[in-house]
Amino acid sequence: MKISLQSTSQPIRSVRGLVICCIRQWALQLVALAATAAVIAVVIGGSLGVGDSIQQGLRRMVSQRIGGIAAVIIGREPFGKQFSERLNASFQQKLDVDSSDCRTDLISAIVVEMTVERPAGGGQSRASAVATLLGCDRPAALLFEIPPSEVKGVQLSQRLVDLLGLKVGDPVILRVNERSAVPSDTPLGRRQGSSRSRR
């Protein structure tokens, strides 16, 4: 006895037919895949946009904080005056050879972590904040926006002034920790570091 089995489906003879058959067979899965791809594309596009705006904001903040500083040479100990003069002469000689439209100016500065303290008095309690001291003979050459002042002393950032509640002419104490040969966080280091202060 012979049983003939006949298939009701037609054979696929073209790529177009294969695509149509796959779409019919996997319609729900393809819709889910397309929706997932769309969500991923939106998330990646949004991330790139947010990243770009954050990068622009950071650039603005850095330019406000460091003025026109393009490069910094930092050492553990202060550089001597002769070293600064030789380095500046070397820069100028190199720039004269390479390009005439580029300008450089080497400015000696001291950058130190310190504490700014408002002494108690006048009904106010003592307050302090950690800051970075930038000591420089020519701060205008660093292209910072520094308002002119007739008062001799230190100039604080607006953030420090607001934080400590200071006015122009108020006394402040600058406290700089002395560097130790043995760091304080090691077993042989002193827990209480020594510091120098200036009012």
Domain boundaries, the chain: 15-66, 72-106, 109-198
What is the four-CA torsion angle of 187, 192, 198, 199, rounded to 10 degrees? 150
The whole model's pTM is what? 0.47
At a CB cut-off of 8 Å and minimum separation 6, what does 160 contact?
A: 116, 129, 131, 166
3-state secondary structure of 112: strand
DSSP state for residue 187 in the 8-state scheme: T
Phi, psi (deg, nearest 5) at residue 23: -65, -40
Q: What's the mean pLDDT in 76-94?
A: 76
- The confidence score (pLDDT) of residue 14 equals 84
pLDDT for 34: 92
* Res. 175 pLDDT band, cuts 50 70 90: confident
How much of the chain, in percent, has pLDDT values that exceed 90?
A: 7
Dihedral in degrees, nearest 10, Cα atoms 16, 20, 25, 29: 100
Helices (H), 4-157: 15-25, 27-66, 81-98
CB 76 within 8 A of CB 39: no
From 140, 70, 81, select the one nearest 104 (Cα to Cα). 70
Per-residue pLDDT band for 58 (boundaries 50, 70, 90) equals confident
Residues of the chain above pLDDT 70, percent: 70
pLDDT for residue 28 is more than 80 = yes
CA nearest neighbour of 175 among 157, 152, 154: 154
Residues 156 and 51: their CA atoms lie apart, in Å, by 32
Strand partners, 129: 116
Extract the tokens encoding 153: 């002393």
What mean pLDDT value characterizes the chain? 75
Rounded to an integer, the average pLDDT of 141-153 is: 68
Check whether 140 has a pLDDT greater than 90: no
Residue pointed to by tokens 């130190």 = 112
Tens digits of per-residue pLDDT, 31-51?
A: 999 999 999 999 999 998 888
Distance, CA of 17 to CA of 177 (rounded, Å): 80
- Residue with the bigger pLDDT between 164 and 64: it is 164
> Does residue 144 surpass a pLDDT of 80?
no
Structural contact between residues 24 and 15, judged by C-beta atoms closer than 8 angstroms: no
Hey, what are 2's tokens? 């012979």
Provide mean pLDDT across the span 166-176: 82
